[in-house]
Amino acid sequence: MENQDLLLKEVTKRAQTWLQDGYDEETRKEVKRMLDSDDKTELIESFYRDLEFGTGGLRGIMGAGTNRMNIYTVGAATQGLANYLKEAFSELPEIKVVVGHDVRNNSRKFAEIVANIFSANGIKVYLFDNFRPTPELSFAIRELGCQSGVNITASHNPKIYNGYKAYWSDGAQIIAPHDVNIIDNVNRIKDVKDIKFEGDPSKIEIIGDAMDDAFLKAIKTLSLDPEVIKRHADLKIVYTPIHGTGVKLIPESLRRWGFTNIIHVPEQDITSGDFPTVDSPNPENPSAMAMAIAKAKEVGADLVVASDPDADRIGCVIRDNNGEYQLINGNQIVMILLNYIMRRKREMGLLDGSEYVVKTIVTTETIKAIADNYGIKMFDCYTGFKWIASVIRDLEGTMKYLGGGEESYGFLAEDFCRDKDSVSAISLMAEICAWAKDQGMDFNEMLQDIYIKNGYSHEVGVSVVREGKKGAEEIVQMMKDFRSNPPKSLGGSPVVTIKDYSDLNCKDVTSGAVTKMDFPTTSNVLQFFTADGSKVSIRPSGTEPKIKFYMEVHGKLEDKSGYERANRDAEAKIEALKKDLGI
């Protein structure tokens, strides 16, 4: 009780500073309402901490408060970033940034505020004329020779959220030491009057169509088999942007690649931050894909694809053995894309041994098996595309990037962009569908073929949501418990290896030997590997109030007739894992 009283006292003190003249009337009114309310829950949730950069930058619920997305938290982040850019690039005659945004409520408003603050600090700003896919912002930073960029987006989160992704000069999201230095600069802003809100219009240049054209031309160069597209140009492709930015470029990219039969879901072509036809605009959720699947059944589509609101993630639906439309998971998307790229490049004689692919540590190990079978080096990295981009940066000029992905429905086929890209991924997926048809296979048969050649795997992710301050404390405790009392067996198989990325220790459970893992920094991730090849990864989300469990089981698939049985066996094993983990 005493701790609660102290917290309320501290929160009240912080909230009262938001009643000063530096804050607009609407904000002051909202804060006063929270202060005057008998129930202090909203006040505590809004002010108990500052929003911090996670794996995806700044992200939170929109509203008044230090723990909310609003013009002042966005303003402080931008002022801090501007201050740091002026330190880091002090030798340049002009510092340049790109600012973009998605379709969410307040996104354009926040983007214009960001542009104004940068310009008020003497920084040249390229501001997109309207919403654009996140990967295009990454591309534009590189194309325009900028030092940084900001995209206002909360990706696939529910409509109450918005976010702020900060990028560096290579077009990748910011990592250490820059992220820490930016936060230090933000923390030095003690007063809202330290934020330069009054923009300099002469420093702001609007960009749009020309950048779209350059981006789409670059993406077209990724096509590996234009002839197969010509033979199957009328492939029936259902595409939905789920009310997001993908509608701006993805249908046009498919047309430029040569596809002529792109079927829309008209209700979801409407761009809206309210995402009116879905509970959550996340293409990994079957409910978000329901309208696209209904359209596919209506027209007999060969392929169903989707992008999330900022068009960096891809969703994909294929027909199963019974002809029913089924969502494939993010691991399978990465497997299909990488397998195709490696296979076609080998067939075309384009591999010279210097190529590599990248996956995140929580993504399926089957990708390593595929890469090994093609004799291609695979690198593991932390969750978040900023880490895939970091590998690309480290290997630039010495090895050739073929592609990289993560289980959370993200893929990057190119290095001229440094964030996951559904524009290129969807264009490639359509080409793969055409190629499979040319080989006399459907998509499902092609996926089964990958499993037969590389070993069968089945992956399931479970997110345990814990909202607010109390929830954050529960997540911390859960990680402590797994570390202090790790499971001895999972799914009936003994745990043989434990990897703890918080101290980079890899423990051989049988011998007790501990070795150090080679990663650029530590991370709050635990992994358990069992004798039968199962892998369980546990990590708190860096951008959402949840703890994530990634479960992966392995088996053997001799031929396509055993696919259904392999699925059933794997699902039973996953349920056993869940039970052992208590989720």
Q: What's the pLDDT at 295?
A: 98
Output the domain CATH number for residue 128: 3.40.120.10
- Domain co-membership, 259 together with 201: no
Tell me the C-alpha distance between 344 and 339, whole Å.
8
CA-CA-CA-CA dihedral for 550, 556, 559, 562, to nearest 10? -70
- Annotation says 148 is catalytic: no
Instruction: Examine residue 226 and state whether it is found in any structural domain, yes or no.
Output: no
Residue 504 CB neighbour total at 10 angstroms: 15
Domain match, 37 and 97 both: no
Q: Which CATH number goes with the domain that contains 465?
A: 3.30.310
pLDDT for 58 equals 85
**Same domain for 102 and 25:** no
195 inside domain: yes
**How many angstroms separate the CA atoms of 127 and 133, rounded?**
14
Q: For residues 86 and 71, state if they share a domain.
A: yes
**Residue 193 and residue 285 in one domain:** no
The verdict on 280 and 408 lying in the same domain is: yes
Rounded distance, CA 54 to CA 56, Å? 5
Check: CB of residue 418 under 8 Å from CB of residue 138.
yes
pLDDT at 328: 96
pLDDT score recorded for residue 50:
85
- Is 215 part of any domain? no
Task: Give yes or no: residues 64 and 14 share one domain.
Answer: no
The pLDDT of residue 545 is: 81
Beta bridge partners, 305, equal: 239, 316
Beta 96-101 vs 546-555: how paired, if at all? Answer: unpaired
For residue 54, the model assigns a pLDDT of: 57
Residues 245 and 285 grouped into a single domain: yes
pLDDT < 70 regions, the chain: 1-2, 53-57, 542-543
Please say which residue of 454, 477, 509 terminates a domain: 454
The reply to whether 290 and 394 lie within a common domain is: yes
Of the residues 454, 483, 504, the one at which a domain ends: 454
- CA 227 to CA 236: how far, in whole Å? 17
Which listed residue (46, 155, 307, 390) is catalytic?
155
Q: How far is CA 284 from CA 82, 506, 551, in A?
A: 35, 31, 16
Give kind and range of the element (H or E) at residue 293: helix 286-299
Among candidate residues 426, 454, 482, the one where a domain is terminated: 454
Whether residue 222 is contained in a domain is answered as no
The verdict on residue 220 lying in a domain is: no
pLDDT for 442-465, tens place per residue? 999 999 999 999 999 999 999 999
- Please tell me whether residues 464 and 445 are part of one structural domain: no
Total domain count for the chain?
4
The verdict on whether omega for the bond into residue 177 sits within 30 degrees of 0, i.e. cis, is: yes
Asked whether residue 68 falls in the same domain as residue 165, the answer is yes
User: DSSP E strands: which ranges in 153-228?
Assistant: 161-168, 204-207
pLDDT given at position 210: 98
> Is 212 within a domain?
no
What pLDDT was estimated at residue 260? 98
Q: Which domain holds residue 183?
A: 49-207
Based on the fold, state whether residues 502 and 552 are members of the same structural domain: yes
What are the tens digits of pLDDT across the range 324-337?
999 999 999 999 99
Cα separation, 240 vs 409, in Å, equals 15
Residue 201 within a domain: yes
Whether 221 maps to a domain, the answer reads no
Q: What is the pLDDT of residue 1?
A: 53
